[in-house]
Structure 1
Amino acid sequence: MLPPGKLLRPLLFTESAAVAGMDREDTLTAALGIESLHVGSLVHDDVIDGDELRRGRPTVVARHGMPNAIVTGDALIIGAFQAVAESADGRIPGERQVAVVRTLAAAGVDLCRGQVMEDELRADPGSGLEPYLAMIALKTGALFRAACVGGAQLAGAPAAVEESLRRFAEHLGRAFQMTDDLLPLLSDTETSGKSPLSDVVNGRPTFPVLLCWQRADAGERARLHAALTGAVAPEEALETVRRLLEDTGALAAARAEAAAEGERARSALLDLPGTEARDALAAVAELSVDRDR
């Protein structure tokens, strides 16, 4: 259905549980549920945006049509809860599984809220950073939080460990999305696996675009607005956006802030025991910023 992705969310789930001393083998089924929810949300995302390319291949909606894509996304999301319910074959106390189910359900609601917020911000580069940060905390950050907090819950981690993992996930989600916003501008389609035109065509207020608006003069803002509202052809719009990001210094500023959020994520781990699992989580934070797809 979709070629393999980075599998960051199941990795976060497994390593968060391992931080609290849980055997990784006992986390794998529930971790699969996290990935199932994530992939289901991507299938629905592509339906909403009309995207034809995902991870370098045709999307489910492009290949199989909208009805099948909607049902496929639904099945994957429902399968997430089935996976948690079946995790560890009864070796995990039921109240822990219930806690993870609640966390996943809350994440699903947040994903939907984030999608609505993104739609409200379309083609409005002057909307500001605060609404953008609130939106990505829901649409992107929700599953990072669910993975880290859910792993801690499955392991029965102390409240202090769960809170450290929550803070880690919040900064990680920001770092990841800010970097994701940069990829279509820094890499070609073959490398990033995404069409560089998608954000422009859909009028998404990405992080570098919002920074560009803050730094731009009146003439530059007019050109940016035209590029994001369909006033010019998509290829010309993309070239205009790229040029303005360079001219205003927004591209460099966005990269610097993404790196800073990655560092904040790693700092949130310092209160946790110095284990192999903690090191793995820190490596995920680094990978989330230092990537080309």
Structure 2
Amino acid sequence: MTTLTGPVPPGLLNELSRSRSGELLHHELSARWPETADSLDAIARYAMVPAGKFLRPVMALTVAEAVGGNPEDVVPAALAMEYLHVATLTHDDIIDGDTVRRGRPTVHVAYGMSEAIVTGDYLIFSAFAAITASRASGSRAVAESIAVLAEAGSDLCRGQILEAELVDDLTAGVGKYLEMARLKTGALFRAVCHIGALLGGAEETQAAALAGYGEDLGVAFQIRDDLIVFADPAGTVDKPTTSDLVNGRPTLPVLMAYEAADVARRQALSSALARRSANAPEFEEFRRALIDTGAVARCHETAGAYGQRAIQGLAGLEPSGSVDVLTEIVRWAVTTEP
């Protein structure tokens, strides 16, 4: 069994973004979204450029290569994964009331609420169009990939509704939260890997195993996202770190802390969530409660379990540099290292 312990290569995501796959994606992104006077394309460009770390599209290219395909043939479809991801971020920022994304005003702050909603929708349709531009594996693989993306999109929406049901509910339980994470986060990672495998020419069984890899990785990634807020109280992470707390949304460590707490601490956690405040002293008190109840340690264990399951999805692949990269991404996802 591959071990998930030990040091993670520093700056792994930056390294992937600067890899050959990253270069291909940056070139495609610039070609697809040039500066323009067209209002809709200009807003979409603002949402997309400069790009983030390109984790999902890089993974699509890496999976395609791991199953014997040519990554260059999959670039448009891989970038489609980023379109859908950015579309969900654009809509999420509206739902959460976040005003900063990637160090600058969110789309709805910069351009307006209606414009941001329409731009998110536009990017979703652009994702489907991009898959049809793939030169890999013929029309059947492209049709299957479109179906995979549509299923992931449906799951994302279901996950979003499930997340809304969690607001202010510390009794929801860990199981409901993990199902939300599987739908809202795991679904897109599942699609990324499934589509990369299909367009790379994988057999059905192999493509399904890689889809499972992606889904389990996605859940581990969501747990990492939940944990990093509390591992980085100084707020150096490039994300709205206290958004969940301000919106009364219990994340996995909060739910685990509530399950493990005595009556007095449960009341304290409920009061803290109800305040919807993230000032420094209150946030630090909240953070300490999660650590003291053992919730943070339990979250790490849960992420590790999903990570091991993800690794099992790679078992049928021939050893290669691409498989090594997919393994390192799992190791990164089960830590709170940057």
Fold match (TM-score > 0.5)? yes
**Percent identity, aligned pairs only?**
44
One of 175, 189, 202 as aligned partner of 2:247? 202
In 2: Cα distance, 1:146 partner to 1:182 partner: 24
Asked whether 1:133 is paired with 2:150, we answer no
Comparing 114-123 with 262-271, which one deviates more in the overlay? 262-271
Give the AA of the match of 1:256: E
Distance 1:170 1:138 in 2: 9
Structure 2 counterpart of 1:139, which letter?
A: K
State the AA in 1 paired with 2:177: Y
Deviation at 1:291, TM superposition (A): 4.7
Q: Do the aligned residues in 2 keep the contact of 1:191 with 1:292 (CA within 8 Å)? A: no
Match of residue 40 from structure 2: none
Instruction: Report the counterpart of residue 225 of structure 1 in structure 2.
Output: 270
Corresponding residue of 1:32: 79
Q: Which whole-Å deviations, capped at 9, do the CAs of 1:43-86 have from their partners, x for residues lacking one?
A: 00111111112233322122222112111111111110111111
Indicate whether 1:151 and 2:151 are aligned. no
Q: Does 1:212 align with 2:257?
A: yes
Taking the aligned partners of 1:178 and 1:96, their CA distance within structure 2 comes to 32
Pick from 284, 290, 303: which aligns with 1:245? 290
**Equivalent residues in 2 for 1:1-293 (5 A)?**
1-2=46-47, 3-88=50-135, 92-188=137-233, 191-230=236-275, 233-235=277-279, 237-292=282-337
Supply the RMSD in Å over aligned alpha carbons: 1.8
- Residue 171 of structure 2 aligns to a residue whose secondary structure is helix
In structure 1, C-alpha distance between the alignment counterparts of 2:252 and 2:230, rounded to whole Å: 12
Bigger shift: residues 92-101 or 251-260: 251-260
Quick check: 2:227–2:336 contact (8 Å CA) kept in 1?
no
State the partner residue of 2:32: none
Residue pair 1:9, 1:34 contacting (<8 A) in 2 also: yes
TM-score normalised over the length of structure 1? 0.93
Spell out, residue by residue over 1:175-224, the C-alpha distance to the aligned partner (whole angstroms, 9 max, x if none): 10000011222225752112332111111121110110111011111111
Are the counterparts in 2 of residues 200 and 237 from structure 1 also a CA contact under 8 Å?
A: no
Query: What's the offset of the Cα at 1:290?
Result: 3.4
Q: For 1:242 and 1:103, how far apart are their aligned partners in 2?
A: 38
Q: Per-residue CA shift, 1:237-278, capped at 9, x if unaligned?
A: 423321211221212221232233223322331222112221
Contact 2:229 2:235 in 1 (8 A): no
- Note the residue ranges of structure 2 that are not aligned, 5 or more in a row: 1-45
Shift in alpha-carbon separation, 1:114–1:269, aligned structure 2, 3 A = same
CA contact (8 A) 2:166 2:172 kept: yes
Equivalent residues of 1:47, 1:66 under 8 A apart: yes
Tell me which protein shows more helix as a share of its residues: 1
* Distance change in 2, residues 1:64/1:121 (3 Å): same
**Is contact 1:178-1:207 (8 Å) kept?**
yes
Unaligned runs of 5+ in 1: none
Letter of the structure 2 residue corresponding to residue 60 of structure 1: V
Secondary structure of residue in 2 paired with 1:192: coil
TM-score (norm 2): 0.81
Contact 1:56–1:189 under 8 Å retained in 2: no
